[in-house]
Structure 1
Amino acid sequence: MNRIYKYGLVVAVLSVFLGGCSTTKTNDIATMSSNNIATGSINNRSIQGSSLKIDSKVPRVFYFEFDKVMLSAKARASLRLHAESLRLNPTKIRLLGHADERGSREYNMALGENRGNVVREFLIQEGVNGSLIEVISYGEEKAALSGSNEKSWAMNRRVELK
């Protein structure tokens, strides 16, 4: 009994010690964005959260390679424009993650969620308030293009910004 008590005490002390040593990086842009949201102004403009206002020519669908979650350079460039708009006009958004039909249903749900989370983290790094971003995964359930070929699969590996 005494041995179990000592072991528990050691684990508790180590947990406190290691937790106290951890640090979190503060993104100055994210901090500024949070402060501006709290005060209700962004660059002397009032918050209007009715809809995402950005040029309709900027893509809202971001495609991925097979079994990958890495953003392309094109996707990052488009997301930077969306992030700028969201910093100036904070709005709740949804990121809908998708996968092609290959893989199990569970795997594709997780892959769609991971892709959505990669986009979410990128937007947060660009200064968007993370509490305004919801990630939903549809896995393979809502295909953009039906078919069992490379063209269909490529169109279905995506995250949509809504």
Structure 2
Amino acid sequence: WAAVTGNTPVDAWILFAIIFFWTPPHFWALSLLAHGEYEKAGVPMLPVTHGAKATRNQILLYTILLVPLALLPVATGLGGWIYGGVTLALGLVFLSYAVRVWRSHAGDAGASAADMKLARGMFLFSILYLFLVFAALIVEHAAGLHFPIGAA
């Protein structure tokens, strides 16, 4: 049992930040797909208020920030080799999606089916990404495979 100290450990803030920076690319990829419905309903999602190109720019920016941020648990010792490897590989795939969505015309009027399929793929992969990042951390600890980088 942990004592209540009134403080929040840095690892908790890092895990919060991972979810915080993951959320925009996740929801904005979906909003590129459903921007017409959001507009009709009067929901001020980013593609409706600032356009698809601005949305794609923000998806890329947040993903670029997320990839190294998600590796911080390795630096603090919360994550070990397994977490680091899994998270790096998943981050590179997520970043690849973000770059391809950024280069596409997803969400634009007349966007191709391939562009929209790419946005859908990013949205679906983002769900898998978050699940596997946290699963790697949990499995690493639960299975006794947590070996922090730099530990003897």
TM-score band by shorter chain is under 0.3
Is the strand fraction higher in 1 or 2?
1
Q: Which structure has the bigger radius of gyration?
A: 1
Is the helix fraction higher in 1 or 2?
2
Please report the TM-score for the alignment, with normalisation by the length of structure 1: 0.25
